[in-house]
């Protein structure tokens, strides 16, 4: 900011910023003191509504660098050559907590990444887990209601949490992740990120591939035990945000090696389980990780509110060569995220510096609305026009997907090995004995807070179906805690 006199919002110089204007010495304040009214009115409106989910977060700018040739899979320009760099902005977050909640809690972490590409912004909105609790977006509001404060008690209720999970067996895999060692990362720098959903890549020849993104932390995985997190959350609620900011300030730039799993489109229909099911991972033995990039965070935002809280991300923000898949959770998010931003930040949220394209220019016919900045000046606001306005390219960013059947409320297609419990059991059996013990302890502590036996029994039974030993140990631990 340039040096000079303090001014009002309209630019007029301020004579006295220490004393309100009154009717005589010690008298009542006058309504004509417009500086006072302007400051108080602005202060009352300094906060936009917080996010319903992912309210608590931190962010930083960085650079994505292509390290391997993937042009055989995608025509996206920002991935077109080895060594090419793209500016990014990454927002980390927890899911269930309010804006002032502590960082060190057992909760999935959002991993929302914006690429400022020359073909427009590409948003990859994922988590620090490769799977999620549900596979259909119609269940998302119900799920989040169980994680947030109960409208009667005003607190998060174990009954709500485990009632929903017990009645939604597809959640068993993600709950096993959440209550295992990686359920509470030690910092944002020491966790992996995942695109989680399946996405489409398509190349110049028009060939289609289904892909999953993986961001492997170069700092190494570090986690907190439940006991360590409880102490840290009380001592320093801002622990993760502070750690990220201070690491970048001292030049210790966090980085992630970026991989992709690639499935030729023709293999999806006959794969042993539904490849678009968000509750499942693709085994690396079937589709190995292919390294193709490096992500580094190297610049802190100058204003948390302007750049982190007003940042918006939408999985519908694609670029040519990348597109959606039939993943039903992803399909719902394509609408829901943009709609949330239009409500929370405003219809012109994309005009804000953190959200607008940095490597190209947005050219649309949208006009007016809250906080419209007049950028289009006298240009025509319709298409087609003969006044030199922007025009369509006649080439879709992604390839069409064949569909068949009748309309209706359909369940997810069943493949040969579709099962809600197999991958949760596989994850449990991969753990060491110490990891299993901590997982069972964490889950038992949470389930023991349930007030109804049938809710607790149903929740335990899901883990028993994933692995008999898992369920047996969990049942014994819960019984011991519940007396």
pTM: 0.93
Average pLDDT of 234-246? 97
The residue written with tokens 């929740």 in the block is 459
C-alpha closest to that of 33 among 52, 55, 8: 8
Among 49, 8, 58, residue whose Cα is nearest residue 185 = 58
Give residue 323's pLDDT band: very low, low, confident or very high (50, 70, 90). Answer: very high
Instruction: Give the pLDDT mean for 105-125.
Output: 96
**375-382, Cβ contacts within 8 angstroms, sequence gap of 24 or more:** 375/351
Question: For the segment 400-436, what is each residue's pLDDT rounded down to a tens digit?
Answer: 888 888 888 778 778 988 899 999 999 999 999 999 9
Q: Give me the mean pLDDT over the 269-293 stretch.
A: 96
**Of 101, 316, 297, the residue nearest 215 (C-alpha):** 297
Element spanning 245, H or E: helix 239-249
| Residue 225 CB neighbours (<10 A) | 13
The catalytic residues are: 54, 127
19-39 pLDDT, tens digit each: 999 999 988 998 999 888 888
CB 249 within 8 A of CB 390: no
**pLDDT on residue 156:** 93
User: Does residue 145 have a cis peptide bond before it, meaning omega lies within 30 degrees of 0?
Assistant: no
Q: Is 326 exposed, middle or buried (0-12, 13-18, 19+ CB in 10 A)?
A: middle
pLDDT 10s digits, 342-385: 999 998 999 999 999 999 988 888 888 887 888 888 888 888 88
pLDDT at 1 over 60: no
Q: Which residues contact 61 (CB under 8 A, 6 or more apart)?
A: 87, 88, 89, 90, 297, 298, 299, 300, 301
Query: Looking at residue 283, what DSSP letter applies?
Result: P
Query: What percentage of the chain carries pLDDT values higher than 90?
Result: 78
The predicted structure's pLDDT at residue 40: 85
The per-residue pLDDT for 356 is 94
Mean pLDDT, rounded, of the chain: 94
Res. 290 pLDDT band, cuts 50 70 90: very high
Task: For residues 97 and 155, give the distance between their C-alpha atoms in angstroms, rounded to a whole number.
Answer: 11
Contact of 456 with 478, CB cutoff 8 Å = yes
- Region 281-286: mean pLDDT is 97
Q: How far, in Å, CA of 300 to CA of 150, rounded? A: 36
Burial class (CB in 10 A: 0-12, 13-18, 19+), 393: exposed
How much is the average pLDDT of 95-121? 95
Which residues does residue 217 pair with via DSSP β-bridges, in sequence order?
256
204: nearest Cα among 306, 320, 351, 339: 320
Distance CA 229, CA 143 (A): 24
As a whole number of angstroms, the distance between CA 39 and CA 399 comes to 52
Overall average pLDDT of the 273-277 stretch: 95
Can you give the pLDDT at residue 363? 86
The residues, ordered by sequence, that sit 6+ positions from 324 with a Cβ below 8 Å of its Cβ are: 199, 200, 315, 316, 318, 330, 331, 334, 398
Cα separations (Å) of 104 from 204, 237, 322, 443, 449? Answer: 45, 7, 34, 17, 20
Distance between CA atoms of 108 and 93, rounded to whole angstroms? 8
SS3 readout for 199-242: EEEECCCCCEEEEEEEEEECCCCCECCHHHHHHHHHHCCCHHHH
**316: Cα within 13 Å, side-chain hemisphere:** 12
């Amino acid at each position: 900011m340039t040096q000079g006199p303090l001014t009002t919002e309209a630019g007029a110089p301020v004579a006295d910023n220490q004393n309100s204007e009154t009717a005589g010495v010690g008298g009542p304040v006058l309504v004509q003191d417009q500086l006072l009214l302007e400051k108080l009115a602005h202060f009352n409106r300094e906060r936009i509504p917080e996010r319903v989910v992912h309210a608590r977060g931190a962010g930083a700018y960085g650079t994505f660098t292509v390290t391997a040739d993937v042009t055989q899979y995608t025509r996206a320009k920002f991935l077109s050559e080895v060594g090419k760099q793209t500016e990014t902005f990454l927002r980390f977050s927890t899911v269930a907590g309010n804006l002032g909640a502590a960082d060190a809690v057992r909760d999935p972490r959002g991993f929302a990444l914006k690429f400022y590409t020359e073909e427009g912004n590409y948003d990859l909105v994922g988590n620090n887990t490769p799977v999620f609790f549900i596979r259909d977006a119609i269940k998302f509001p119900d799920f989040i209601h169980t994680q947030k404060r109960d409208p009667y008690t005003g607190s998060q209720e174990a009954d709500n949490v485990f009632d929903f999970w017990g009645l939604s067996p597809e959640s068993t895999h993600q709950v096993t992740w959440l209550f295992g060692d990686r359920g509470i990362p030690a910092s944002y720098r020491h966790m992996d990120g995942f695109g989680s959903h399946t996405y489409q890549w398509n190349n110049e020849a028009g060939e289609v591939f289904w892909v999953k993104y993986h961001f492997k932390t170069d700092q190494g995985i570090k986690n907190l035990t439940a006991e360590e997190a409880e102490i840290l959350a009380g001592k320093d609620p801002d622990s993760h945000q502070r750690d990220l900011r201070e690491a970048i300030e001292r030049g210790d730039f966090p980085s992630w090696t970026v991989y992709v799993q690639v499935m030729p489109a023709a293999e999806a229909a006959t794969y042993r389980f539904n490849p678009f099911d968000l509750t499942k991972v693709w085994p690396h033995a079937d589709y190995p990780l292919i390294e193709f990039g490096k992500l580094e965070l190297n610049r802190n935002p100058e204003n948390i509110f302007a750049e982190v809280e007003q940042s918006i991300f939408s999985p519908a923000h694609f670029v040519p060569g990348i597109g959606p898949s039939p993943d039903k959770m992803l399909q719902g998010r394509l609408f829901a995220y943009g709609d949330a931003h239009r409500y929370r930040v405003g219809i012109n949220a994309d005009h804000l510096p953190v959200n607008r394209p940095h490597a190209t220019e947005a050219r649309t016919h949208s006009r007016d609305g809250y906080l419209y900045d007049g950028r289009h000046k006298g240009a025509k606001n319709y298409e087609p026009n003969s006044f030199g306005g922007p025009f369509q390219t006649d080439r879709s960013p992604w390839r069409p997907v064949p569909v068949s059947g009748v309309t209706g409320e359909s369940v997810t297609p069943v493949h040969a090995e579709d099962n809600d419990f197999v991958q949760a059991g596989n994850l449990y059996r991969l753990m060491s004995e110490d990891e299993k013990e901590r997982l069972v302890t964490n889950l038992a502590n949470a389930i023991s807070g349930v007030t109804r036996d049938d809710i607790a029994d149903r929740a335990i039974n899901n883990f028993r179906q994933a692995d008999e030993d898992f369920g047996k140990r969990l049942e014994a631990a819960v019984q011991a805690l519940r007396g």
